[in-house]
Amino acid sequence: MSPRVLLDPTGERTPATREWSPRPASLDGRTVGLLDISKPRGDVFLDRLEEQLTERGLRVRRFTKPTFSKPAPVDLRHEIGTQCDVVIEALAD
């Protein structure tokens, strides 16, 4: 079995692990991003979520990854990060 704990060989100027961002207690007043990763029928799921979130008075923005087989481009991630408070990603299939 491979070891589970290693000693840090670096100057320790950056965090060893990144913490999760704090989760919001409620969605009130938030902008929700809906990210379609371009898997089939992900849009069906996200369309329904958009309806429900909009009924609750939330702002919704839609995003689509160019392809599910690669990480989201930096620009797209930046766009989501600056425009939304939370994001829901639809894997689907």
Partner 1 sequence: MTAAPLPDGLVAIVKRDCPTCRFVAPVLADLADGALPLTVYSQDDPTFPDDVKVVDDTELEVSFALELETVPTLLLVAGGEIVARTEGWLRPEWEELTGRAPLGAGLPEYRPGCGSRTVDPDIAAARSDAAGAAGLGPRRVDLGEHEDDVEAAFERGWTDGLPVVPPTLERVARMLAGTSRDPADVVAVVPPDLVECTVEKVAINAVLAGCKPEYLPVVITAVEAACTDEFNVHGLLATTYFSSPVMVVNGPITKAIGMNAGINVLGQGNRANATIGRALQLVVRNVGGGRPGGVDRATLGNPGKYTFCFAEDEAGSPWEPLHVERGLAPDASAVTLFAGDGVRGMVDQLSRAPESLARSLAACLRAVPHPKMALGFDVVVVVSPEHGRVFREGGWSKARLRDELLALLQLDGDDVIRGAGGIAEGLPKGLAGATVPKFRDDGLLLVHAGGGAGLFSAIIGGWINGPGGSQPVTREVRP
Contacts with partner 1, residue ranges (CB under 8 A):
2-13, 16-17
Nearest in space to 33 (alpha carbons), one of 8, 7, 64: 64
- Shortest distance (Å) from residue 71 CB to partner 1: 14
- Residue closer to partner 1 by CB (options 3, 22) is 3
The CB density around residue 86, as the number of other CB atoms within 10 Å, is 14
What six digits make up the tokens of 17?
């692990």
- Residue closer to partner 1 by CB (options 19, 28) is 19
- Residue closer to partner 1 by CB (options 4, 55) is 4
Q: What is the distance between the alpha carbons of residues 82 and 7, in angstroms, rounded to a whole number?
A: 35
- Shortest distance (Å) from residue 20 CB to partner 1: 14
- Shortest distance (Å) from residue 49 CB to partner 1: 30
